[in-house]
Structure 1
Amino acid sequence: MEGNLSLRAFVVLMKASKTVTDHVKQDINRYDMKTSDFAVLEALYHKGRLTVKQISEAVLINSGSMTYVIDKLESKNLIERHPCSDDRRVVYIHITEEGKQLMDNIFPHHQKAIEEIFQDVTDDEKRTLIDVLKRVGQA
């Protein structure tokens, strides 16, 4: 029976993940943005200056795709590259004032869309969900 519960939990998790992902993509598309672009801007908006590697790890985009995303965002003047003075291999990425203003405008709406996903879940259930998913992710 335990094996069946694990399989059932897996299937429910995958279906929930798809539903949440679809909802978030639909919301991000309202801003005429791709999910990867939004993820990079959001990371910089909330965490400040990051290296390309740090962004890649934070948003789960491989480094090959990351260069393309960063190039696009830079061409739109939403981010800037700054080389590290101590290590030529390291490049810091900063959100520009224009990028910050964009995120100031759209992030509250995005946050509201995410809150709608969890509107029928209590705070205690959210805490439990976070704890369980962290343990699953560390397994």
Structure 2
Amino acid sequence: MNDKYIVYFISKTKKKMTEFIERELKEEELDDLVPSYGNILTVLYDNDGKLSMKEIGELIGKDKSTITVLINKLSKLGYVQKEKCQEDRRVTYIVLTEKGKSIEGKFNDISKKVYLTAYKNFSKEEKDIFLNLLKKMNNNFDLNK
């Protein structure tokens, strides 16, 4: 295969993956959610449902303005709420609401389907190689280098 098509296939795969997630969200009656909320919900589920805005940004690799927009939308939908830190009022925590906690099972099911579909017919070794190559390519685009 001609390597000039690599970026094309990465882009095409991302589009298909996004469409897959959107279909799964709709099937699970979570059509008020969009795939871009996934990383935020994931890190909250993995961290007892409470993180500062700064921690979320560091964990998902997004800037403050992007995180703020996504958090505001999730808050408006009732999945998270903001809490000011009592010790340092400059710090804002993002906390899962009961609604946010209640969808964790469905959310994890969708994540598992995405994972299983993405890696169908991959050996363990192929998954490891693929991940390492993607990381390497991703690092090539770091602006600080």
Question: Which of the five TM-score ranges fits, normalised by the shorter chain?
Answer: 0.7 to 0.9
- Match of 1:82, SS state, is strand
1:20 to 11, 17, 21: 17
Cα distance in 2, alignment partners of residues 83 and 62 from structure 1:
20
> Which letter does structure 2 place at the counterpart of 1:107?
N
Deviations 1:6-39 (A, max 9, x none): x233333233233223322332343212223343
Deviations 1:52-87 (A, max 9, x none): 233244445553453343234334442232222343
1:102 Cα deviation (Å)?
1.1
Choose 81-90 or 118-127, whichever is displaced more.
81-90
Q: 5+ unaligned residues in a row in structure 2: which ranges?
A: 141-145
Find the counterpart in structure 2 of residue 136 from structure 1.
Answer: 137
Q: Is the Cα–Cα contact under 8 Å of residues 36 and 61 in structure 1 kept in the other structure? A: no
Structure 1 residue 11 corresponds to structure 2 residue 8 = yes
Q: With structure 2 as the length reference, what TM-score do the two structures score?
A: 0.72
Cα distance in 2, alignment partners of residues 66 and 132 from structure 1:
27
Q: 5+ unaligned residues in a row in structure 1: which ranges?
A: none
Q: Percent identity?
A: 24
Q: Is the Cα–Cα contact under 8 Å of residues 37 and 69 in structure 1 kept in the other structure? A: yes
Alignment of 1:80-99 (within 5 A): 80-99=81-100
Q: Of the two structures, which has the highest relative contact order with CA contacts closer than 8 Å and spacing of 6 or more? A: 1
